[in-house]
């Protein structure tokens, strides 16, 4: 998602605009229980998914080579998609 902020520079200075966009980003990343509050207010009987850092994928023999990290992630995604197509689940059994 891209968010752009336009304003009249005679009213709002760049620093305030930057602070606003920073706060908006923090909320979209789940800070201050933002999504929990949204779910509660909407009466949704679920818990929102928590933001997590991407876990590193590894290819055998390339553990310390950053060049192959992206390839390993793509391979893992393709394996997951295939598992759902073939078995209807992500479980390998």
As annotated, the active-site residues are 9
Euclidean distance between CA atoms 21 and 78, whole angstroms: 35
Euclidean distance between CA atoms 27 and 33, whole angstroms: 8
Euclidean distance between CA atoms 73 and 31, whole angstroms: 27
Q: How far is the CA of 26 from the CAs of 17, 21, 46, 66, in angstroms?
A: 14, 9, 22, 28
């Amino acid at each position: 998602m891209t968010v752009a902020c336009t304003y009249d520079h005679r009213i709002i200075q760049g620093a305030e605009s930057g602070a606003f966009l920073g706060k908006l980003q923090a909320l979209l990343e789940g800070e201050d229980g933002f999504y929990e509050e949204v779910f509660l207010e909407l009466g949704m009987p679920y818990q929102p998914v928590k933001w997590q850092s991407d876990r590193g994928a590894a290819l055998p023999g390339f553990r310390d080579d950053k060049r192959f990290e992206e390839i390993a992630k793509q391979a893992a995604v393709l394996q997951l998609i295939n598992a759902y197509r073939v078995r209807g689940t992500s479980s390998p059994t």
